[in-house]
Structure 1
Amino acid sequence: MSLLLKNGNVIDVHSGEVSRNSILIKNDRILQIGQFQDDADEVINLEGKYIIPGLIDMHCHIKEGFAHLFTAVGVTTVRNTAGNVIELRDLIQAPSHAPTPRVYSADRLIDGPPGLWGPTSPYSLNASDPNEAKSEVRRQIQEGAQFIKVYGLLSPEVMEAVTSEAHQHGVEVSCDLIHSTQVNALEAAKMGVKWFEHNSGFMQAMYPEWSPLSGAEVRDQIDLEHPNLDKIQEVCEEMLKYDAFLCPTTVVYDQANRYPKYWRSDERFINEALLNQWEQISQYADALKQQIGCQTEYIKAITKTYYDLGGTVVAGTDTPAGVWTYPGMALHRELELLVESGLSELQALQSATITAAQSINYDDLGVIAPGKVADLLVLDSHPLLNIKHAREIDSIIKGGKLYQQEELLNMNPDEQLIKNKLDTFIKDFEEQMN
């Protein structure tokens, strides 16, 4: 099958240049870009439209029941930062043109006891023994994990063991240190941890007494509304020496901080089960604001400082964690927040396309060029004039297949089938681990 997209405004996300061109797609690849005539199987006139690469959410926790909502707003690839690769196998192995995103995934997170998310389960392992943690790293890699995720209650000794073992297998380690009292960002970077989700561990590096559960006596000593740029600069300069990668997920902080006046998405993009989950969590909105939301301005300042120093910053959302982190739409909000942090529209867009793809060695994604995968987003307006225009979607091309937004939004996964698959997965996993 061939598809010709005629006379669109093609945006080069590397340079920001815009050219009026046609794109010829064969199967799931871009075959040619330029001004030409071709007898393609399907021809679409995109006069006046803008074409960008499919977006990449570099931090989410995807599930089959809402996966299509990502694609419906142009998020054609996701980096799943903890879950279970066995449960996600159908999504991971889906055809290139499937109506769900490509999935680059970690397996269950490795935490320390008692575990922030409770006892050991198919989604987390609480480890106090370095050898147990090393064995888990090997198991995850064998199952297909593409990186390892460590969590904030892990001891320094076990975190170092995980990182060492992962590196022996050529696999990177990602950390969430939001709740850590034992390891800060600099210490984790020295161990060889590559990825710093939520810009976490920076607060502890600047303020050793800090944690989300710190009392008022600690919080009141920090002007959270006016970040200390000298401290941030100092830590960022040190982190840059280790070539750390940052994924701020500003939206998860911002939503908690804004409650009850949080950013709302169009109701078409809301999953009912997730809405119920967020409504339950919102009972603890004051605690979320005090522990997580209060860091928003610091997170923005860390992002801007690290980016300006030449560090790698990518866009992610933590969907559906926290509150009202809508699948797919939260990434559009994250792009707006990156611009609020001081990045330009082009720099924000790069963080969800070319920079994101390069950071995980997905060189076939994130750009529009011959030979690359045909994951594209067609927009009604110019996103480099206003990043909010990236929401004004005409159509989505995933793996060379053209989708209309409503078509994707109206896909209703079989909830009973998903539940049956989940029950079977949990039963089989527990039997395997016992």
Structure 2
Amino acid sequence: MRNTLRYTLVSLAFCAGAQVSAETVALKNFTLIDGTGRAPVANQALIMTDGKISWVGPVSKLRVPNSAETQDLQGKYVMPGIIDSHVHLGLVNGIEQDYSKFYDRANVEKQLKIYAAYGVTTVYTLGTDGDSIHELIADQRRIGRIDMARVYTAGRGVVFKGSYGGVVGLDQSVATPAETSAMVSRELAKGDDFVKLWMDDEFGTIGERMPYQISNAVITAAHAGGKKAVAHIFYYDNAAALTQEGIDGFMHQVRDRIADPALANQMKAKGVWQIASTLSREASFTYKLLPFVDDPFFSRAVAPSTIANLKDPARQQRLASSPLFPRYQAVLNNAMASLATEARAGVKYGMGTDSGPSARFPGYFAHWEMDLMVQSGLTPLQVLTAATSTNAKFLGLTDVGTVAAGKWADLLVLDKNPAADIRNTRAINSVYIAGKKVPTIWETCVDRPADTCAARP
């Protein structure tokens, strides 16, 4: 009996010690934008314990544990980390794109840290991943307290043989419904979080668009495996047909024309989400030279050689001489108007960029995307909600997307109010992932000595 009592007391002391030694940090005196769509609330505080939010509420009710570190964020704004619902990882070095040369874990992790530096704490990667992505994701979910953006993947997305989509060097094409069903089942067995298909022909220049018998097989197999199916689309007629087939979300806007209320109402009725907006993708194609190339908020995250390549007159001439170049402005205009139509109709919409391929830059494009969404007619608060809780809800994520007790402490701390001006998301003060500060873009200087990096404005 005496030995049992002694063991019990030792166990209790150990548990008490574990509680005392927990990493606890309190943040106070900030204005909270919690990601739910609620208006900003001043004079707030929160407590982070071992990387998760254990309490959030008015600073007047804050009770800080004796062992906790306290940080005063007077004048700051705290929001959930941004979620980008459409990225591609590991495809490029600078602006050179080659999956076979560049896709490895080191390059993927480098890009995930750049996303984090911009306050993008979670990404959905869209159908161009090698199998090694699953090992990285398994490690992330096992460790929990990571120092880079969290990843959810569509693995190898489905491309109709000879058609538009995917990346060179990754086997992902199918020719028959049977091949399609087998591929989706094989991918889901690897651990894909959702399934992607491409239905496009690049203005009629690349093959035949995916036939509906193939897209139907993708959707059916994904749903049979308990996962959502999403589509790369361009054309109105494909969007309408896929809506009727049961697609769960679109990863681009309708762009050959403007999505009308008829389509938007069908999407709403069928529960189809416009989970990615990708306006920045379309906007990037309208420029020979990206207008932000000398902006320190952009240039700190890319190598000097990348800047030089972007400024190369020969490259600019190649872009301008493409027969497709004159068409891109209308495509952007249609995409922005389509988003506005869908939002008015009550379609659920998220924020996604299609960053990752050549000259579509991780992290920076998320901030540009949100600016373009506001220019399309949405309010800053609507856009912030789309980029946080709405994106989390699409995949059923319950531990990110809002600032609430029980969630990971993935936080973006800003010097200015993004609900007043969406460009204030660029006023990054600090970024937390699982309660740990990670280097921000203002503390990052890619491939050069820090003293040669452009200063913060």
Do they fold alike, i.e. is TM over 0.5? yes
The amino acid across from 1:354 in the alignment is: S
Shift of 1:343: 0.2
In structure 2, the CA distance between the partners of 1:275 and 1:411, relative to structure 1 (3 Å rule), is: closer
Q: Map of 1:222-301 to 2, 5 A cutoff?
A: 232-246=260-274, 247-260=276-289, 262-264=291-293, 265=295, 266-270=298-302, 283-285=318-320, 286-301=322-337
Report how many residues are paired: 382
More displaced stretch, 131-140 vs 282-291: 282-291
The amino acid across from 2:285 in the alignment is: A
The amino acid across from 2:43 in the alignment is: R
Identity of aligned residues (%): 25
Q: Does 2:384 match 1:349?
A: yes
* Contiguous gaps of at least 5 residues in structure 1: 207-226, 413-434
In structure 2, the CA distance between the partners of 1:258 and 1:331, relative to structure 1 (3 Å rule), is: same
Q: Does 2:341 match 1:305?
A: yes
In structure 2, the CA distance between the partners of 1:69 and 1:130, relative to structure 1 (3 Å rule), is: same
Shift of 1:402: 1.7
Q: Does 2:343 match 1:316?
A: no
4+ residue segments displaced more than 3 Å: 117-121, 258-265, 271-282, 284-288, 290-293
Q: Deviations over 1:247-290 (max 9, x none)?
A: 22000101112333544453102256876887797533444534
What is the match of residue 151 of structure 1? Answer: 198
In structure 2, the CA distance between the partners of 1:319 and 1:62, relative to structure 1 (3 Å rule), is: same
What is the match of residue 173 of structure 2? Answer: 126
Aligned-partner Cα distance in 2 for 1:176–1:186: 13
Aligned-partner Cα distance in 2 for 1:108–1:281: 30
What is the match of residue 4 of structure 2? Answer: none
Aligned-partner Cα distance in 2 for 1:362–1:272: 38
In structure 2, the CA distance between the partners of 1:4 and 1:40, relative to structure 1 (3 Å rule), is: farther
Shift of 1:403: 2.5
Q: Deviations over 1:339-362 (max 9, x none)?
A: 000000100101101111111111
Shift of 1:410: 5.0
Shift of 1:391: 0.7
* TM-score, scaled relative to structure 1: 0.81
Aligned-partner Cα distance in 1 for 2:279–2:151: 21
CA RMSD of aligned residues (A): 2.5
**Which is greater in Rg?**
2
Aligned-partner Cα distance in 2 for 1:300–1:341: 5
The answer on whether the counterparts of 2:267 and 2:273 sit within 8 Å (CA) in structure 1 is: no
The amino acid across from 1:194 in the alignment is: D
**SS at the partner of 1:269?**
coil
Shift of 1:40: 4.1
The answer on whether the counterparts of 2:177 and 2:217 sit within 8 Å (CA) in structure 1 is: yes
Q: Map of 1:22-421 to 2, 5 A cutoff?
A: 22-34=45-57, 35=59, 36-38=62-64, 39-63=66-90, 64=108, 65-84=110-129, 86-92=131-137, 93-94=139-140, 95-116=143-164, 121-122=169-170, 124-152=171-199, 153-178=209-234, 184-200=238-254, 203=256, 232-246=260-274, 247-260=276-289, 262-264=291-293, 265=295, 266-270=298-302, 283-285=318-320, 286-321=322-357, 323=359, 325-405=360-440, 409=444
The amino acid across from 2:240 in the alignment is: L
Shift of 1:400: 1.1
Aligned-partner Cα distance in 1 for 2:166–2:438: 40
Aligned-partner Cα distance in 2 for 1:195–1:356: 11
Q: Deviations over 1:93-115 (max 9, x none)?
A: 32333221111110112111214
In structure 2, the CA distance between the partners of 1:48 and 1:274, relative to structure 1 (3 Å rule), is: same
**SS at the partner of 1:109?**
coil
Aligned-partner Cα distance in 2 for 1:376–1:239: 32
* Contiguous gaps of at least 5 residues in structure 2: 1-22, 91-107, 200-208, 448-457
